[in-house]
Amino acid sequence: MTIERRKVLGWIAGACVAPAIAGVARAQTVPSASSFSFAKAGGGALPLAEYRGRPVLIVNTATQCGFAGQFATLEQLWQRYRDRGLMLIAVPSNDFGGQEPLEGAAIAEAARQSHGATYPFAEKTAVRGGDAHPFYRWAAAQRPAEAPRWNFHKYLIGRSGELVGGYAAQIDPISPRLVRAIGQELQAG
């Protein structure tokens, strides 16, 4: 078990005890998104700490999903806002319907060839259940009602590392609701 995973599991366990201790300042023990890192497709890491001070959109993806067309609208979003500071990370997952048969860099290559995706891709990662990546456990603990229910769920992280919101698969990346939230984060800096 990685140090990062132990840290999050300890925080989650502490969150279960904390309600019994009224008045405890839990916010001081809650990590920010900057505490997490994803393995990068093809090797290396995508540490969220590198993007501190910038909004980050994290999207769990699957190349065989009916929402795979969102790879292209994510690219539109990326091209429109990356120079203004937005970071976008695709996190392939096979958790919903077994719709990600590919592995590693082949996922990013398939999305590039089929939909023109040029943004960074993490390695295929669990986003729900007991094996969920620590970031996804943290996000689910922050906003349980906004946890991923399918592929192409989007989490927007604010400039200070807080979870701004979760957006269901049905919300297109260039929807007014998501674009407005990203714009607010870009203007906040």
If phi over 0 gives left and psi between -120 and 50 gives alpha, with beta otherwise, what is residue 37? beta
Two structure tokens written together for 18: 């904390």
C-alpha 131: how far from chain center: 16
Contact of 130 with 151, CB cutoff 8 Å: no
Residues 45 and 131 sit within 8 Å (Cβ to Cβ):
no
**Would you state the pLDDT for residue 5?**
43
Report d(CA 117, CA 128) in Å as an integer.
Answer: 24
Give the pLDDT band (50/70/90) at residue 16.
Answer: very low
Mean pLDDT across 39-45: 94
What is the reported pLDDT for 189? Answer: 67
Judged against a pLDDT cut of 90, whether residue 10 lies above it is answered with no
Candidates 83, 107, 106; CA nearest to 93 is 107
* Of 153, 158, 187, nearest in space to 170 by CA: 153
pLDDT in tens, 19-40: 333 333 434 456 899 999 999 9
% pLDDT > 90, the chain: 81
Domain spans in the chain, listed from the N-terminal domain onward = 32-187
Q: What is the token pair recorded at 11? A: 């925080």
Better pLDDT: 26 or 154: 154
3-state secondary structure 90-138: EEECCCCCCCCCCCCHHHHHHHHHHHCCCCCEECCCCCCCCCCCHHHHH
In 3D space, the residue among 48, 90, 86 whose CA is nearest the CA of residue 67 turns out to be 90
Catalytic residue among 56, 65, 108, 127: 65
pLDDT bin (cut points 50, 70, 90) of residue 169 is very high
Chain centroid to Cα 184, Å, comes to 18
**Reduced 3-state DSSP string for 161-184:** CCEEEEECCCCCCCCHHHHHHHHH
pLDDT at res. 24: 36
Model-wide pTM > 0.75: yes
User: What pLDDT, on a 0 to 100 scale, did the predictor assign at position 188?
Assistant: 82
Q: Read off the pLDDT of residues 110-146 as tens digits, 9 standing for 90 and up.
A: 999 999 999 999 999 999 999 999 999 999 999 999 9
The second-level CATH assignment, the architecture, of 32-187 is 3-Layer(aba) Sandwich (3.40)
pLDDT digits (tens, 9 = 90+) for 80-91: 999 999 999 999
pLDDT score for 9: 44
pLDDT of res. 29: 57
- Examine the residue annotation and report whether 65 is marked as an active-site residue of this protein: yes
Q: What three-state secondary structure class fits 19?
A: helix
